[in-house]
Structure 1
Amino acid sequence: MDLIGNAFTMSELVAYAQGSVVSKTLIDKKIGTVTLFSFDAGQGLSEHTAPYDAFVQVVDGEALVNIEGAEHTVAAGQMIIMPANKPHSLKAVKPFKMLLVMIRA
């Protein structure tokens, strides 16, 4: 499916996979990326840092996002910004989909 110039339902672009994390890059440019993820319950991303702020829009489900030791519950329709150079991680409380936007400039 060609995403550019076409309407689509974001949650349908990545399926859940048992015991897995699935990602689909929607835009990959020098200035930044837009990536859609799905996480099965219990799956996540281990603690790490990134040199840029990371905008997360929750598309479906619920997850725990930890930023510098502070835990945040995020659910469908909510968003959170994970700040640059601060340790963060996330874990799906139940199957969870998110849109991750990273702008490098």
Structure 2
Amino acid sequence: MGKNYIKNIDLAEVLTMVDLVLYQDKQIVSKTLVQSSALSLTLFAFDKDEEISSHASDGDAMIIALDGEGEITIADEKFVVKKGETIVMPANKPHAVYAQEPFKMLLIVVFPQE
């Protein structure tokens, strides 16, 4: 058998992405699906009012909102993303995530390979 590159979820099975990470009271729950020098895939569930404070990444980071609503800050500009919406946080720009209500997202980060 070959090596699997996606972890922490069942393979060769139909899954509902939003159900793969569960809300927990006053917490941020994350589940890493891929972590490599080129790519990171992580599921997050934020309880209401939880946040990841401002930071920067050397890769472009795409959020796909799976449930609820989150406020995304990129540099000094605020955006609201709702279930089914997507936003990209450009590499090397400070960004933050705040859950205005319970919020689930898939975070995809693509890192430079030069």
Q: TM-score range by the shorter chain?
A: over 0.9
Provide the alpha-carbon RMSD of the alignment: 1.2
Q: Give 1:103 shift.
A: 1.5
Quick check: 1:97 aligned with 2:99? Answer: no
Q: Which residue of 2 aligns with 1:22?
A: 29
Q: TM-score, normalised by structure 1?
A: 0.94
The match for 1:82 among 78, 89, 113 is 89
Equivalent residue pairs, number: 105
Q: TM-score, normalised by structure 2?
A: 0.87
**Unpaired segments ≥5 residues, structure 1:** none
Are the structure 2 counterparts of residues 2 and 57 from structure 1 closer, same or farther at C-alpha, using a change threshold of 3 Å? closer
What is the DSSP-based 3-state SS (H/G/I as helix, E as strand, rest coil) of the residue aligned with 1:11? helix
Larger C-alpha radius of gyration, 1 or 2? Answer: 2
What percent identity do the matched residue pairs reach? Answer: 38
Give runs of ≥4 in structure 1 deviating > 6 Å. Answer: none
| Larger proportion of strand | 1
- Pairing of 1:17-96 with structure 2 (within 5 A): 17-96=24-103
**Unpaired segments ≥5 residues, structure 2:** 1-7
